[in-house]
Structure 1
Amino acid sequence: MGVKVAVLPIVGMIMAECAQAGRMMAGKAAMSNGMSSFVFVLYSNIIASIILLPSSLIFHRPQERPPLTLSIVFGFFLLGLFGCLGQSSGYAGINLSSPALGTAMLNTVPGLTFVLAVIFRMEKVDCRSYSTLAKSMGTIISMGGAFVVTYYKGPLLLKALPSASNSSHQVLSQHSNWVLGGLLLAVDCTMASSWLIVQALILKKYPAKLIVVFFYFFFSTVLSSIVCLVIVKDPSAWSLKSNTRLVSVLFSGILGHAFQVGVTTWCLQKTGPVFVSIFAPLGIVITATASVVFFGDALNLGM
């Protein structure tokens, strides 16, 4: 029984990383089809909210729900704010670069989360401990790797495959900005690390996991709608008539958001933010391979 309990968070995080990699590729597909990244974020959050509202009410019975206080609601709002900022900058960064760079930049999440966990005294630092030394070295290496990926592409290792999406990739590549995309993805990773820390703190006071996730998507939806109304002026950017856009939004909302965040939240409550964050690099192999196959991206030495 003990082994099963220990293995479940590992399996859960592997599934969550697969869903997140798929979400990034779905976002790239929708944006390649002319959809605004801000609208994509909004639609995904709306779908996730619709799914999680009844699920949270069914799963958590009224007598089991802790009372909602002003500080808890403010914590939910912070989660929504970090999520909205992270998603908006993340998809904009992917649109300027590639899903492969998006997952590669997630290498910074374990290091940033470890630093924040130390600041908030969620992790103890003992210079004589092998665990602390390993985490510190991992932080330095992951940060260094993220900067290499952002600023150094290097020679070509694997040519882009002539996939069905290759023609659209050639058009997009004319407008891509690898460094700016990397910087926007760095903002996304910073928000993701902050989100993990804040949610871990909230779950200690309000352990109703699905309700926490619902309010996160609810506030993300409210904030995303404000961003869209201010920034997105082209009516065609809102359209879901294209099958590519519709399927991408449904996949992102159901699996990439509701499922992925729900599983991550469960694992977060069971293990803590540092354990959850160390699975971030797992998506690199998945997304890098899929980017070459489905989007015609090339594989460079820097990646």
Structure 2
Amino acid sequence: MWISWMIIAVMVGIECVEAGLNTLTKVAMTSGMSDFVFVVYSNSLALLFLLPSTLIYHRIFLLGLLSCTAQILLYTGIGFSSPTVASAMTGLIPAFTFVLALITRMEKLDLKVKSSQAKSIGTIVSIVGAYIVIFYQGPPIMFSQSLPILHSPSESPLSNWIIGGFLLATSSFVISVLYIVQTWIIKDYPAEMVVTLIARVFVAILSAIIALIVESDPKAWTLRPDMELVTIVYSAFLMVTIRSVIHAWACRTKGPVFVTTFRPLGMVFAVFMGVTFLKDTLHVGSVIGAIIIALGLYSVMWGKAKEVEIIENSFICRINSSSEEVPLLQNKSIDV
């Protein structure tokens, strides 16, 4: 039981860390950091954290390709929109992953069973809560003055807002595919460090090729000892290294749907960090959305817990029935 609670606590912490990265990324890119170069430096630096952990080689090109694509789409989308929209769009990941898990038969859905009903309803409720935060503001609760280096969503052109939303939605779908592929690999080869290390190698190579093609300005590769460097180190250690290993471990132990269930929490953390550090204004819609997200998460986790309970009870029943049959067989053989 304590392992399950530890996994839940770690997953909540990871979502908080990721919301922080989205905010730092927006600040760094507003200051002039290239989103393509950022992906290259972040994953390359992450290799320094992962290489000492393992020296075993294993090819995971598909995982690296998906990760590279998702990161470029995500950070480019943040550049066009905002960290709040990026966190809101991650609310699509549980739905995408749930559908893909059903298609690949990693998850079973029987609407006659309460656990399946709870998972389905919880997933939908979490998504609804995430979009209430972004589409319904309501009256303000806390007033704050925004930082001058950031532009509010209303100041961004509508075309950029649409492009950013499309890129972020596409990134959410790619991330869902990534979780499915990662679970498939990690089930056959349960070595999170190895899988993460080799995937980062491919991401670093692929992102470097793309950045060399897209970024024609050599100055974009110059690292400045300011928020840009802080963002890259933050991403390399806490996100690309720690988060990737934890997600691989959670996918192996709990499955991809369980991992993505925590993604809508990023919306809550993004709002909190925006109000605390970026001096955004807190609205009633954000509070309502956060409460709905929490209810959705509880519903999904309740459904997963019920499934585990049913499996454990059926396993115990099989053991008890088999243990009761053994003496009868033994007595029959003695009588003969």
Shorter-chain TM-score tier: 0.7 to 0.9
RMSD: 2.4
| Cα contact 1:16–1:264 (8 A) shared by 2 | no
Amino acid at match of 1:206: Y
2: CA distance, partners of 1:237 / 1:149:
35
Within 5 Å, which residues of 2 pair with 1:187-266?
Answer: 187-266=170-249
Task: Say whether residues 1:89 and 2:70 are aligned partners.
Answer: no
TM-score when scaled to structure 1?
Answer: 0.85
Contact 2:123 2:261 in 1 (8 A): no
Structure 1 residue corresponding to 2:257, chosen from 274, 277, 300: 274
Return the match for 1:77 from 55, 61, 65: 61
After the TM superposition, which of the residue ranges 239-248 and 32-41 deviates more from structure 2? 239-248
Is the contact between residue 43 and residue 236 of structure 2 (CA under 8 Å) also seen in structure 1?
yes
Q: Give 1:35's aligned residue.
A: 33
Asked if the contact 2:130–2:264 (Cα under 8 Å) also holds between the matched residues in 1, the reply is: no
Report the CA distance shift for 1:291/1:221 in structure 2 as closer, same or farther (over 3 A): same
2:148 maps to what in 1? 167
- Following superposition, the deviation at residue 114 of structure 1 comes to 0.7
In structure 2, give the amino acid aligned to 1:82: L
Using the TM superposition, give the Cα deviation of residue 144 of structure 1 relative to its aligned residue in structure 2, in angstroms. Answer: 5.0
Report if aligned partners of 1:41, 1:224 keep a CA contact under 8 Å in 2.
yes
**Partner Cα distance (1:236, 1:255) in 2:** 26
Q: What are the Cα deviations for residues 27-84 of structure 1, in whole angstroms up to 9, with x where unaligned?
A: 1121111011111111111111221111123xxxx7xx9xx5xxxx2xx111111111
Flag the 1:35–1:250 CA change in 2: closer, same or farther, 3 A. Answer: same
Contact (CA 8 Å) 1:240, 1:246: kept in 2 or not? Answer: yes
Alpha-carbon separation, structure 1, partners of 2:163 and 2:133: 12
Verify: 1:8 aligned to 2:6, yes or no: yes
Q: How many residues align?
A: 284
With over 3 angstroms needed to count, the CA separation of the structure-2 counterparts of 1:231 and 1:172, relative to structure 1, is farther
CA drift of 1:181 comes to 1.5
Residue 88 of structure 2: aligned partner = 104
Contact 2:87–2:264 (Cα < 8 Å) also in 1: yes
Q: Which residue of 2 aligns with 1:291?
A: 274
Does the CA contact (< 8 Å) of 1:86 and 1:191 recur in 2? Answer: yes
1:184 aligns with 2:167: yes
Q: Is the 8 A contact 2:46 2:236 kept in 1?
A: yes
Superposed CA deviations along residues 207-226 of structure 1, whole A, max 9, x for unmatched, are 11100001111111111011
How has the CA–CA distance of structure 1 residues 238 and 149 changed in structure 2, closer, same or farther, with 3 Å as cutoff? Answer: farther
CA offset at residue 301 of structure 1?
6.7
Separation in structure 1 between the aligned mates of residue 188 and residue 41 of structure 2, nearest angstrom? 30
Aligned residue identity for 1:7: W
Aligned pair in 2 of structure 1 residues 146, 186: CA closer, same or farther (>3 Å)? farther
Cα distance in 1 for partners of 2:26, 2:149 equals 11
What SS is found at the alignment partner of 1:169? coil
Distance 1:149 1:183, change over 3 A: farther
1: CA distance, partners of 2:261 / 2:72: 23
Out of 47, 50, 55, the residue aligned to residue 49 of structure 1 is 47
Q: Give the TM-score, by structure 2 length.
A: 0.77
Indicate conservation of the 8 Å contact 1:12/1:267, yes or no.
no
Tell me the residue number matched to 1:114. Answer: 98
Query: Structure 1's 88 and 204: CA in aligned 2 closer, same or farther, altered over 3 A?
Result: same
1:135 matches 2:119:
yes
Question: 1:197: how far off?
Answer: 0.4
1:23 and 1:252 in contact (8 A); partners too = yes
**Structure 2 unaligned runs (5+)?**
287-336
Task: Name which structure has the greater RCO, CA cutoff 8 Å, separation 6+.
Answer: 1
1:295 shift after superposition: 3.3
Distance 1:189 1:149, change over 3 A: farther
Alpha carbons of structure 1 residues 160 and 191: separation in structure 2 relative to 1, 3 Å? farther
For 2:264 and 2:153, locate their aligned partners in 1 and report how far apart those are by CA, in whole Å: 26
Supply the distance in 1 between the matched residues of 2:170 and 2:120 (Cα, whole angstroms): 21
Equivalences for residues 7-26 of structure 1 within 5 A: 7-26=5-24
Identity of aligned residues (%): 39
Partner of 2:262: helix, strand, or coil?
coil
